[in-house]
């Protein structure tokens, strides 16, 4: 039995147990994947939870809000993906812990699966949180030339820009008043805010600003067809969904946990079929 888990706050509705259990069934591994919510959002509470997992013989865990940056500081070894982004969502546990960021590598893999070699170009990124941070760095791996970052917390947007510029990328923080002019000048639109989720419907970008771009990505995947992607599709853009990110980051984490290669297309189709996930945009 391979013991895995997810560590974070407000994770009761996570689909990660279903995904990893399904991957285990596909590749002949018996998995026990459990959710673990630390007592509070402090680094000390995270450290205590990780110790409990290690003592209980866990092979690894995924990490989500609000612990992605704190978890990186607790790792004994940091893979290049996590070092670049400055956070981790995947920890391989044992005598020593190894941190990776499969949001970063999973986004790159998903982008190429949907958009091939088409370069990302200039991109407007909405949301500078944990997922937004990983996607921001991933965008430059798929051909982004310049990134414009908008967040309700202007400090968060500027902080992410500073981190990216310090590593040689070109990023600019933009405020709401600049969105109209910026949106019309970019090649891609990216939503890494919670807006569009079942619990917070809508789109973080006015529909009038969906015009002239070539592609769009929405990190939200419940529902699969968000208002953001529906509008992008209506405007003739190529699209990548949050479900793609969910699947590919999970596959990347699973490959780290069990040291095996996964047929991503087979896994995506079988998971979607098993859980009857319907999409008008992706078939």
CATH 3.40.50.720 fits 105-243, yes or no: yes
Q: Cβ-count burial of 123 within 10 angstroms (0-12 exposed, 13-18 middle, 19+ buried)?
A: buried
Contact 200, 122 (CB under 8 A): no
pLDDT of residue 278: 79
How far is 198 from 165, CA to CA, in rounded Å? 34
Same fold, 2-100 and 105-243: yes
What does the pLDDT look like over 57-105, one tens digit per residue? 999 999 999 999 999 999 999 999 999 999 999 999 998 999 999 999 9
Residue 80 has a pLDDT of: 97
Q: What is the domain partition of the chain in residue ranges?
A: 2-100, 105-243
- 107-123, pLDDT tens digit by residue? 999 999 999 999 999 99
Which pLDDT band holds residue 264 (cuts at 50, 70, 90)?
A: very high
Share of the chain above pLDDT 70, in %: 100
**Section 45-59 average pLDDT:** 97
CB 123 within 8 A of CB 188: yes
Q: For position 283, what pLDDT does the model report? A: 63
Q: What is the pLDDT of residue 275?
A: 84
Give the Cβ contact number of residue 157 at 10 Å: 24
Average pLDDT over every residue of 240-252:
96
CATH number of 2-100: 3.40.50.10860
pLDDT recorded at residue 176: 87
CA 217 → CA 72, 118, 155, 213, distances in Å? 26, 14, 23, 12
Report how far apart, in Å, the C-alpha atoms of 279 and of each of 5, 126, 176, 241, 282 are. Answer: 28, 23, 31, 10, 6
d(CA 68, CA 103): 11
Question: Could you read off the pLDDT of 160-203 as tens digits, one per residue?
Answer: 999 999 999 999 999 988 999 999 999 999 999 999 888 889 99
The answer, yes or no, to whether residue 276 has pLDDT greater than 90, is no
> So what's the pLDDT on residue 153?
93
Kind of pairing, strands 90-92 and 98-100?
antiparallel
pTM above 0.85, yes or no: yes
Verify whether residue 68 is a known catalytic residue.
Answer: yes
d(CA 177, CA 179): 6
Query: How are strands ordered across the β-sheet holding 90-92?
Result: 31-36, 2-7, 60-63, 90-92, 98-100, 77-78
pLDDT at residue 272, as a whole number: 87
Q: How many angstroms separate the Cα of 68 from the Cα of each of 46, 103, 244?
A: 10, 11, 20
**What digits encode the pLDDT tens for the residues 4-25?**
999 999 899 899 999 999 999 9
> Which one is catalytic: 3, 51, 68, 266?
68
């Amino acid at each position: 039995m391979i013991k895995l888990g997810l560590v974070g706050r407000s994770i009761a509705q996570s689909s990660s147990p279903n995904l990893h259990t399904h991957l285990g069934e596909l590749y002949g591994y018996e998995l026990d994947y459990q959710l673990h919510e630390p007592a509070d959002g402090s680094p000390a509470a995270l450290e205590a939870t990780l110790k409990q997992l290690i003592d209980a013989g866990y092979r690894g865990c995924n990490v989500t809000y609000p612990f992605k940056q704190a978890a990186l500081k607790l790792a004994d070894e940091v893979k290049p993906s996590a070092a670049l982004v400055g956070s981790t969502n995947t920890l391989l546990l044992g005598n020593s812990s190894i941190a990776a960021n499969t949001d970063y590598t999973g986004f790159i893999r998903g982008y190429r699966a949907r958009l091939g070699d088409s370069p990302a170009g200039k991109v407007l990124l909405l949301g500078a949180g944990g997922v937004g941070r990983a996607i921001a760095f991933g965008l430059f791996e798929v051909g982004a030339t310049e990134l414009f970052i908008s967040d309700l917390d202007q400090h968060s947007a500027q902080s992410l820009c500073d981190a990216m510029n310090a590593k040689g990328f070109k990023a600019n923080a933009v405020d709401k008043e600049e969105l109209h002019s910026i949106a019309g000048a970019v090649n891609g639109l990216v939503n890494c805010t919670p807006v569009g989720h079942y619990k917070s419907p809508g789109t973080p970008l006015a529909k009038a600003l969906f015009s002239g771009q070539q592609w769009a990505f929405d990190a939200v995947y419940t529902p699969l067809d968000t208002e953001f992607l529906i509008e992008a599709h209506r405007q003739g853009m190529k699209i990548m969904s949050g479900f793609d990110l969910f699947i590919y980051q999970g596959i990347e984490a699973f490959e780290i946990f069990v040291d095996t290669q996964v047929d991503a297309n087979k896994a995506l189709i079988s998971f979607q079929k098993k859980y009857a996930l319907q999409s008008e945009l992706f078939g």
